[in-house]
Amino acid sequence: MDFAPAHKLEQRAAKVGPVPRRAGLKALLFAIALSCNAQKKQLDVASEQHEKGQLDDALTTLEVLVHEAPKSPEAERAQTLATSWLIAAGDTGSDRTARRLRLEQALKWSPKSGAAQARLCLLLVEAKDFTAARRCVDEKLGDKIDVPPELVERVRTAVAAHASAEADAERRRWAASRSAHHWKALIEKYPESAEAKAAKQKLERRESLCADLESFTKPLRDEVERQKRLAALVTAEKGDDSTQGERIEGLEMVGREAAARARAIGDLKGDVEGHPVRAGEEPVKQRLEAVAQLVADSASTLEDDMERHPLENLDSYDAQALAALKRWAAQAQRMASRVDKELKRTEEACASTQSR
């Protein structure tokens, strides 16, 4: 048996020992190289799929890569690619729901993506959900990175424009209302607006019939003038070369207009009855109610005179309606004179009351 000296054995061991360690390292490096090549190949495959318009297939390929090698540089690259592709899809799609889904996918890949979140906020503007859009920029962008300021500005501008338009519409609606409650809300919410100033004047008039007198005297005078013009036309008629059909159509039109005016003046009389009065204004209210009743009665009389029963003979209606119209014209002229005097007395009474 060969017994080598001790130092020879140590030399042999030194020569033999390192061999398996070098071989293992090479194998490991080779395996790593193969793995990196496979991951790069997956990135190439995903890119090719994306170029062909196969976005979902490309995303699946990237998901496999990330699952198999979550800590690799290629996994980080996959996350960047997937996010950018999905954001691009969210920008170019025609269907709003599909775009939103793509952007939400982008956020799953990159939860801190300011680009994806800002676009989701902008989609809410497109959907006209301005309340949600405002909350989106206020609450959901705080922890995001690389937020596009131009998109945020577009959202805020749209939200502000909508809020301004809503405020304008609300002011106009409250200003046009006949409700004192709306006028008070207008003054409280928009104190410096022109509508609020007008509402203050309305409230002041609402508290006093005399302060609000023109709101009633003007429509009454307008209706009296209308009836006077019609009466003058009827009285001045010398001859008539119209056909019976034309006359009947005209008479029925006069009746329909009279009915509408009678209702309007009746409503006006109701407003007078419900109007608050200050001390000393009760006689004014009574006189104004009486005037409104006179004007409404005149219109109602004309409405009744022009009414035709469906079975009534046309010749009979033609003759009787024309005769009734002439009678009404004479009465309307007398009514107009009386109303004019009563309205002047009403205005004088208010002037006297307000001077005290």
Residues 291-342 pLDDT 10s: 999 999 999 999 999 998 877 788 899 899 989 999 999 999 999 999 999 9
Exposure of 317 in the CB half-sphere (CA atoms within 13 A): 20
For the chain, which residues make up each domain, given as ranges?
A: 31-166, 177-202, 208-354
Res. 344 pLDDT band, cuts 50 70 90: very high
Q: Which stretch, 21-30, 153-162, 211-220, has highest mean pLDDT?
A: 153-162
Mean residue pLDDT across the chain: 87
Mean pLDDT, rounded, for 126-155:
96
Q: Which CATH architecture has domain 31-166?
A: Alpha Horseshoe (1.25)
Q: Is the pLDDT of residue 8 over 70?
A: no
User: CA-to-CA distance for 264 and 249, rounded, in angstroms?
Assistant: 23
Q: Is the pLDDT of residue 350 over 60?
A: yes
pTM higher than 0.75: no
Mean pLDDT, rounded, for 87-95:
90
For a pLDDT cut of 70, what percent of the chain falls above it?
A: 88
Q: In a 3-state reduction of DSSP, which class is residue 145?
A: strand
Note the pLDDT of residue 19: 42
Lowest mean pLDDT, pick from 42-56, 58-72, 83-97, 236-250: 236-250
Note the pLDDT of residue 21: 52
> Which amino acid is present at 150?
E
CB 110 within 8 A of CB 86: no
Q: Is the pLDDT of residue 35 over 70?
A: no
φ, ψ for residue 145 (rounded to 5)? -115, 155
Note the pLDDT of residue 143: 94
* Other C-beta atoms lying within 10 Å of the C-beta of residue 151: 19
DSSP track, 93-118: -SSHHHHHHHHHHHHHH-TTBHHHHH
Long-range contacts at 200-206 (CB < 8 A, ≥ 24 apart): 206/180, 206/275, 206/276
